[in-house]
Homo-oligomer: A and B are copies of this chain.
Amino acid sequence: MFTKVLVAEDYEIANQGIVKVLNDEVKIYNIHEAQYCDDAYLKFRKAHQEEEPFELLITDLSFKENHKVQTRTSGIELIQDIRKIQPDINVIVYSQESRPDKINMLFQKLNINGYVCKGQHAIKELVHCIQGVYKGNIVLPPEVKDANQDNIINLDDFDIMLLEELALGFTKKEIVQKLKKQKISPNSESTIDKRVSKLFDDFKAKNTTHLVAIVKDLGLL
């Protein structure tokens, strides 16, 4: 089993809960805690420099900013930064987020090893996840397994970029100009039209405003 673990979670009650679960259920005792993203990063770098690296990172996604100045505001950045130092580190994300698209994004873009959803069965799922990751598996939460069958709309980077620009209030003409300036193709207004129309169909949206509202609700932006 893993011997040295870092838990990054700003919510102190949950932080204690995780430690307790690791102790009682998984028999891991060398556990370091961090309530701030920056703190987690520093602890990680120190351990790596001293050649006693962590084997597993369990982290939340969102960290509240408060009096202390934080350069990393989200667990995503933390994971990216830590992976730069130690690419093979095992990462389990432990977060409130339950939207399948967003969770899938974590697996695809960050190559995390496991995900546990804060919720009613967090203890059981966390134990199962740690054991699975230790065996080298990718452990999806039940929420995603269920949803993964159908209902997946394949959005490429261009679609996402379009949605982001639209959500920022840019007109299609402005987007076209940006694309031409950056020499990204396709970059004609009519293609943008077509693409967005396809998104209307995909998400059953009536117009651009509706589309952005839907996508925001789904957590894709």
Contacts and interface: CB of A to CB of B under 8 A. Distances in A.
Contact of A169 (B10, B171, B206): B206
A138 interface: no
A167 B211 CA distance: 8
Contacts of A80: none
B209 A10 contact: no
A120 B66 contact: yes
Interface residues of A, number: 38
A84 to B, nearest CB: 27
A124 to B, nearest CB: 10
Chain multiplicity (copies): 2
A178 B210 CA distance: 18
B11 A122 contact: yes
Nearest to A117: B64
A13 to B, nearest CB: 3
A105 B122 CA distance: 30
A123 interface: yes
A168 interface: yes
Interface in A1-41: 10-14, 16-18, 21, 35
A207 interface: yes
Contact of A11 (B118, B208, B221): B118
A62 to B, nearest CB: 9
Interface string A41-81: 00000000000000000000000101000000000000000
Q: Closest 4 A-B residue pairs measured CB to CB?
A: A169-B210, A169-B206, A13-B17, A167-B213
Given A13-B14, A13-B123, A212-B216, 13 more contacts: A11-B119, A12-B123, A13-B21, A13-B118, A64-B120, A167-B210, A168-B206, A169-B205, A169-B206, A169-B210, A169-B213, A212-B212, A212-B213
